[in-house]
Structure 1
Amino acid sequence: MTPHRRRLGLRIRPPFGALLVAFLATAAPGGAQALERLSYEVASREAHLRAAVERASALRAAEREGRTSPRELVAAALLDYRRITEALYAEGHYSVVVSIQIDGREAADIPLTAPLARIDTIAVRVDPGPPFRFGASTLAPLPPGHGLPEAIAPGRPARSGAVREAVREAVEAWREAGHAKARPARDRVLADHAARRLDVTVEIEPGPRVRFGRLRQMTPSAVRSERIEAIAGLPEGEVFSPATARRVADRLRRSGAFATVALGEAETLSPGDRMDMLLSVVDERPRRLGFGAELSSFEGLELSGYWLHRNLFGGAERLRLDGRLGGIGGQSGGLDQSLTARLDVPAVYGPDTRGFVHAGGERREEPDFTSLGVSVGAGLGRDFTENLSAEAGIALSWTRATDALGTRSYPMAMLPAQLTWDGRDKRLDATRGHFLALGAMPFITLDDGTAGLRATLDARGYQRLGDEDGATVLAGRLQAGTLAGVALADARPDLLFHSGGGGTVRGQPYQSLGVDLGGGATTGGLSFLALSLEARVPLGERFGAVAFVDAGHVGSTALPGSSGNWHAGAGIGLRYHTAFAPIRLDIAAPVAGTTGQGLQIYLGIGQSF
């Protein structure tokens, strides 16, 4: 007896066009009417098959959205014959029988040109049939080093999605090998119903090995074309690589000059199998103004703002002015004021290296010292990967400071550098990933030749407990710092370390932990450690609760943790999630140490870290 074999169309290639019934449903007039009953009967004990049927059903979606006019329901029913069948193909069932009864009549027999006056009941009955497994599977040719994907190997469950994914992986493997125009050329899928087997044959057409051609700009921009090409860094003449193409687009996005960047591929190849890349950009607004505010019961109100000018000279340069006024109405010493300016120029030494210059002035009135300083500097930054970047430069500064040891001036030269790894999923409200910043700043005091090194560490980790967006998040932070090569009495006060306040230990007053000099005088320390742990629990769609504990240590020697004292704080908080970032309210109290008492309140934008 010849087994019953049937050729199936599994949409190896993307479908085109629209379904007529979908158009008729959206164009149909008439108000919504009550549908008394919509039922589903699936001839299987497998719960996941019933779930797949209802998930795919356009009728269920129409009921949920209140689209229950007769024409809309009939159109949804006609869609469901195909949608339910394809959903069960995806589960490996290819002998599917679907019946949809509308008030006792099969939906397929109801003409769209003669709509019903009303619909009371709809019964969807589905027989998935037996599960199929893959039989003979052929996917060829494949690039060297790639074999038949395990998901479509003989004997595996014959899910239609596995075929599409295997084809996608094969095409992508050829593209990664430089064959940019690889595509599925021919396919044949046969269902052997007697043997419950699916035979799959897909032929891949790799096409030639392609090299990058020119970068062709398809849309106008205020950024000069030669600067766009320099920032993009398209390696013309090199073998095509999807990863390289993504890096080209990412460089343009990181420049900050463009609101939208789209990089496409030319359909036809140029002589020599070269492929031009088609660039479409939409410029960002050239100027932007921003403001921020933070409030603490001890530190008072801090106001900040910035003015940003993009594409300053037509080469995607970016000028940013920042101002800050802190300590308003607080108990932390007085008003802190700062004004800084920074100009960034992308692609100064290759597409991944940017240059910058900066200048600024600052006045600080802290619990242990006051200072007035100015600085200028310049440097280079480089993006090594999507997550890894570095900056290094040279700076000159002059600071006049007064503390418990007297008033002194510090003319200094510095070589600040920082290495940053940012693997967080979101910068202002991370739920997964890690962040690590390592800073090092060798310096020399120009009047007496005193040299030293200030180094810092900021490490953060985030873990979401579950796959859902609303799952609880555990967050942790470790901070460390050291000031080496200089005595405590000779160190510039604003280079020393303190603990306490919103950035270190909540519940303890701002900069309340330092080094005791005796006689009621304190100063900052030569070393610093801080630990923070948070549990962030969602409370519905917009709100969230936080429980946290922080601890900090300041030492009189350069080795963190070797001398000095600890203090700690703990508390709870509330978060209100906006489209931009969560609004943060924290209430904390001291739990260890002798530097504070009573509650501290913090209000700001974004998570605490």
Structure 2
Amino acid sequence: MALPLIRLTILRVLVLGAALAFASAAQALDFRLALPPNAEDLRGSIRGAMLSATAAEDPDAAPQDIIAAAQADYRRIMSALYEEGYFGPEVSIRIDGREAATLSPFEAPARIATLEVEVTPGPRFRFGRAEIAPLPPGVSPRESFRTGERARLSVMRGAARGGITAWRDIGHAKAELSEQRIVAMQPERRLNADLRLAPGPRLRFGRLLVSGAETVSAKRIRKIAGLPEGSVFDPEDLDRAVARLRRTGTFSSVAVTEADTPSPDGTLDVTVQLQENPPRRFGFGAELSSEEGGTVSAYWLHRNLLGGAERFRVGAEISGIGTGTKDDGEDYLVEFRFRRPAVIDSDTDFFAGAGFEVIDDPLFESDKGQILAGLIHTFGDEFEASASLGYRYASTRDDLGSRDFSQIILPVTAKLDRRDDFLDPARGYYLNVETMPFAGLNGTESGLRLTADARAYRALGEDDRVVLAGRLQFGSVMGPDITEVMPEDLFYLGGGGTVRGQDYQSLGVTLPGGEEVGGRSFLALSAEVRAKLRGAFGVVGFYDLGYVSDESFPDGGSANQAGAGIGLRYNTGIGPIRVDLAVPTTGPKAGEDIFFYIGIGQAF
């Protein structure tokens, strides 16, 4: 007998739900924005400035909230119109037929049915008189702040900021806008703007005060920041100080503030507010390709080893996992790195490192170690150079037999990075050049090893939907005969780093006696077309070509190989996940084998 009662209860719930839904629909707020026909191009900017329009779309918005938003919209709409050059507008906002400005949010009705906004922009104004003074010698107002140009609030604000910046750039740190006279001439549709600046005295940098540092000493922070105490104030010096502190990686937040008033001696103190990162960090990574196998890596990092923002990093890597070939086993690497910022000046760091590696590649095996120390100098945010002195040794086995090498090395590197993004660049270029003179102590004569890596990117279309990317790599060993060069200093082609679609390090050179070794020089070219699809997905087409030679420079008779393929990208927000499929386009297996590569970030 309970079944009919259950059915009746369900019916009542459905009827009640339908009634509530109907009531909710009936209470939907009717919003209207009325503009003259010749002002329809302003609808978007006016609609975007309105808080009440957004509140009207919220079914949970209370009448008090809508009234308060509407009252704030008078000023917001006027500001939007001033920005477009309209300085005589009329604005009416009516809630259920009553002007919103006359309503009290504390006596709001139970519900609101209509919200009507009527805007008459009036005539568009242009600048009549447009003056800003005083300005530093040789500085002129921006072109948009001139008689006859469209009068916009942003132009006036920009002119004032530009004038203040010009004074600050020559040491007047407390320059400010002291007076502004803005008069709208209604009949002439002209806006007269007279802006007056107060440059203030020319100041010098005073003390650098440190706040928020917990484990890094204030003395070291001042050394790293390199703010030139006693020198004429320059905003660029402040920017450089912030960049140097951030570059250490020790601080998660760096901000500078200037003192409100200068000191009596004409100096201006600056406070740097810092927040330190956790001192220790652990990370790991992984990559996979069908030919080169898997690679796993991990590291442990201390960001402030000795209390002076020193970085100490221990890393380990295993590569070539699961290749399944007897000629290509697993490689092992352990390395230690130490870097201390600001050892000579604020832009020169000291670094030292040591590494031990076991290499089992298709054409050679090697057990090697290296230790070196040197200096890195940073030139701005984009360019850095380093020089170091070190010692290395290697015990190798290849077609030429078992050999031991030892050398004194002097690596010198220069890197210029003007890419807009490290993991997914769309514009800019990158250049890395390394020259390494070496003095042979055992197994080799002295000579020079040179490598270069150049990359360029160009975006096409709206929202950078298509990106053209190109890469050129070059390497050369000069001095010793090819039989006296460390196998790991020679060059091989094939695999994800040079020519995709070819076996890993499959192309070297063949000596007259039939021995297969790496080349004394190589040249590799890569081209990609990257296109965005819907959502986070993208597609890539690529072609790689490489040459390797037994001479110090490749020529027309050098051995070569090529590969081509397509790839899929999924943008994670911190960099794309990369999946590439490639086939050889030259060689006996052209068009037959398929290789795949998986990683994070673009291929280059």
Conserved? CA contact 2:444–2:485, under 8 Å:
no
Partners in 1 of 2:31 and 2:546 — Cα distance?
A: 62
Q: How does 1:49-448 map to 2 (within 5 A)?
A: 49-63=42-56, 68-330=61-323, 331=325, 333-447=328-442
Name which of 551, 558, 569 aligns with 1:564.
558
Provide the TM-score with structure 2 as the length reference: 0.92
Q: Secondary structure at the match of 1:150?
A: coil
Q: 1:141 to 1:413 in 2, by over 3 A?
A: same
Q: 1:159 to 1:222 in 2, by over 3 A?
A: same
Q: Secondary structure at the match of 2:144?
A: helix
Query: Structure 1 counterpart of 2:319, which letter?
Result: G
Partners in 1 of 2:588 and 2:256 — Cα distance?
A: 59
Deviates more, 1:552-561 or 1:296-305: 552-561
Q: Secondary structure at the match of 1:93?
A: coil
- Residue in structure 1 matched with residue 582 of structure 2 by the alignment: 588
Partners in 2 of 1:442 and 1:519 — Cα distance?
A: 29
Conserved? CA contact 2:443–2:484, under 8 Å:
no
Deviations 1:483-538 (A, max 9, x none): 11222222111001111111112111211221133687522111111122222222
Asked if 1:546 is matched to 2:543, the reply is no
CA offset at residue 121 of structure 1? Answer: 3.0
Q: Secondary structure at the match of 2:511?
A: strand
Cα root mean square deviation, aligned: 2.0
CA offset at residue 63 of structure 1? Answer: 4.6
- Residue in structure 1 matched with residue 447 of structure 2 by the alignment: 452
Deviations 1:82-105 (A, max 9, x none): 111111111111111112233333
Q: Secondary structure at the match of 2:475?
A: strand
Partners in 1 of 2:393 and 2:26 — Cα distance?
A: 78
Conserved? CA contact 2:291–2:504, under 8 Å:
yes
Provide the TM-score with structure 1 as the length reference: 0.91
Partners in 2 of 1:148 and 1:490 — Cα distance?
A: 67
- Residue in structure 1 matched with residue 475 of structure 2 by the alignment: 481
Conserved? CA contact 1:346–1:354, under 8 Å:
yes
Deviates more, 1:541-550 or 1:513-522: 513-522
Conserved? CA contact 1:529–1:561, under 8 Å:
no
CA offset at residue 69 of structure 1? Answer: 3.4
Partners in 1 of 2:363 and 2:282 — Cα distance?
A: 34
Partners in 1 of 2:468 and 2:443 — Cα distance?
A: 48
Q: Secondary structure at the match of 1:592?
A: coil
Query: Structure 2 counterpart of 1:367, which letter?
Result: P
Conserved? CA contact 2:403–2:443, under 8 Å:
no
Q: Secondary structure at the match of 2:369?
A: strand
Partners in 2 of 1:294 and 1:459 — Cα distance?
A: 23
Name which of 590, 593, 607 aligns with 2:602.
607
How many residues are treated as equivalent by the alignment?
578
Q: How does 1:457-536 map to 2 (within 5 A)?
A: 457-466=452-461, 468=463, 471-517=465-511, 521-536=515-530
Structure 2 residue runs of 5 or longer lacking an equivalent are: 1-23
Q: 1:62 to 1:589 in 2, by over 3 A?
A: farther
Partners in 2 of 1:217 and 1:132 — Cα distance?
A: 49
Partners in 1 of 2:472 and 2:558 — Cα distance?
A: 18
Deviates more, 1:546-555 or 1:137-146: 546-555
Structure 1 residue runs of 5 or longer lacking an equivalent are: 1-30
CA offset at residue 473 of structure 1? Answer: 2.4
Deviates more, 1:198-207 or 1:501-510: 501-510
Partners in 2 of 1:60 and 1:500 — Cα distance?
A: 60
Query: Structure 1 counterpart of 2:577, which letter?
Result: I
Conserved? CA contact 2:524–2:547, under 8 Å:
yes
Conserved? CA contact 2:47–2:53, under 8 Å:
yes
CA offset at residue 200 of structure 1? Answer: 0.4
CA offset at residue 225 of structure 1? Answer: 1.5
Q: Secondary structure at the match of 1:113?
A: helix
Partners in 1 of 2:412 and 2:217 — Cα distance?
A: 31
Q: 1:371 to 1:347 in 2, by over 3 A?
A: same
Conserved? CA contact 1:40–1:125, under 8 Å:
yes
Q: 1:359 to 1:84 in 2, by over 3 A?
A: same
CA offset at residue 595 of structure 1? Answer: 6.5
Deviates more, 1:64-73 or 1:477-486: 64-73
Q: Secondary structure at the match of 1:173?
A: helix
- Residue in structure 2 matched with residue 22 of structure 1 by the alignment: none
Query: Structure 2 counterpart of 1:151, which letter?
Result: S
Deviations 1:448-490 (A, max 9, x none): 661211111111122222463x633222211111111222222
Conserved? CA contact 1:572–1:587, under 8 Å:
yes
Query: Structure 1 counterpart of 2:554, which letter?
Result: P
Partners in 2 of 1:299 and 1:40 — Cα distance?
A: 63
Q: Secondary structure at the match of 1:151?
A: coil
